[in-house]
Structure 1
Amino acid sequence: MHFIRGWESHFAGWFSSRLFSLLALPALLCGCGGQGESIRIDGSSTVYPVSEAAAEAYRVEHPEIRISVSQSGTSAGFSKFVKGETDISDASRPIKDSEVEEARANGIEVVGFVVAQDGLAVVANPENDWCDSLTVEQLKTIWRPEAKGTVSTWQDVNPDWPDVPLKLYGPGTASGTFEYFTQVINGEKKASRPDYTPSENDNMLVRGVSNEKGGLGYFGYAYYAENKEKLKLLGVDAGEGDGPVKPDEASVKDGSYKPLARPIFIYVSKKSLARPAVSEFVNFYVENAEKFAVQKLYVSPSQDELASNAELLKSEATAHLEPTAAN
Structure 2
Amino acid sequence: MKNWKYLLMTTMVGSALALGACGNASTSETTETPAAETEKPQEETAVLEGKVAGDGSSTVAPIMEAIVEEYAAVQNKVQVTVGVSGTGGGFEKFIAGSTDFANASRPIKDEEKEKLAAAGIDFTEFKVAYDGLSLVVNKDNTWVDSLTVEDLKKMWVEDGSVKKWSDINPEWPDEEIVFYSPGTDSGTYDYFDEVVLDEADLVKTATLSEDDNVLVQGVQGDKNAIGYFGYAYYLANKDTLKVVKVEGVEPTNETIESGEYSPLSRPLFVYVKNSAVKENPATYDFMKYTLENAGDMAEAVGYVKLPDADYDKGLADLEGLK
Q: Which digits, 9 at most, give the CA deviation of each residue in 1:17-44, with x for residues without a partner?
A: xxxxxxxxxxxxxx86542x22111100
The whole-number CA distance in structure 2 between the counterparts of 1:157 and 1:304 is 43
Counterpart residue number, 2:183: 172
Describe the superposition over 1:148-187 as per-residue Cα deviations: whole angstroms up to 9, x where unpaired.
x414221122111011221100100011100101110122
Higher relative contact order (CA 8 A, sep 6+): 1
Deviation (angstroms), 1:125: 0.2
Q: TM-score normalized by structure 2? A: 0.83
Q: What is the SS of the residue equivalent to 1:229?
A: coil
Equivalent runs, 1:1-327 vs 2, <5 Å: 34-35=48-49, 37-146=50-159, 149-188=160-199, 191-237=201-247, 244-273=248-277, 274-314=279-319, 316=320, 320=322
2:252 is matched by which residue type in structure 1? D
Structure-1 residue corresponding to 2:32? none
Report the aligned-residue RMSD.
1.5
8 A contact 1:172–1:199 mirrored in 2: yes
- List structure 1 runs of 4+ shifted beyond 3 angstroms: 31-34
Instruction: Quote the offset at 1:62 in angstroms.
Output: 1.2
Using the alignment, how far apart are the partners of 2:218 and 2:186 within structure 1? 18
Q: By how many angstroms is 1:97 displaced?
A: 1.9
Query: Taking every aligned residue pair, what percent have the same amino acid on both sides?
Result: 42
CA gap of 1:34–1:102, structure 2 versus 1, over 3 A, is: farther
Give the Cα–Cα distance (whole angstroms) in 2 for the partners of residues 80 and 194 of structure 1.
Answer: 28
Aligned length: 277
Work out whether residues 87 and 104 of structure 2, in 8 Å CA contact, stay in contact via their aligned partners in 1: yes
Compared with structure 1, are the counterparts of its residues 247 and 159 closer, same or farther at alpha carbon in structure 2 (3 Å cutoff)?
same
Per-residue CA shift, 1:116-172, capped at 9, x if unaligned? 1000010000000011111110000011122xx414221122111011221100100
Aligned-partner residue type, residue 162 of structure 1: P
Residues 184/304 of structure 1: CA separation in 2 closer, same or farther (3 Å cut): farther
> What is the SS of the residue equivalent to 2:126?
strand
SS at match of 1:41: strand
- Give me the whole-angstrom Cα distance separating, in 2, the residues matched to 1:32 and 1:145: 56
Asked if the contact 1:43–1:78 (Cα under 8 Å) also holds between the matched residues in 2, the reply is yes
Q: Give the gaps of 5 or more residues in structure 2.
A: 1-44
TM, length-normalised to structure 1 = 0.82
| Distance of 2:47 and 2:123 partners within structure 1 | 22
For the Cα contact (< 8 Å) 1:141–1:151, is it kept in 2? Answer: no
Q: Which entry has the higher C-alpha Rg, 1 or 2?
A: 2
Distance 1:32 1:103, change over 3 A: farther
Q: How much does 1:304 deviate? A: 4.3
Report which stretch shifted further, 95-104 or 66-75.
95-104
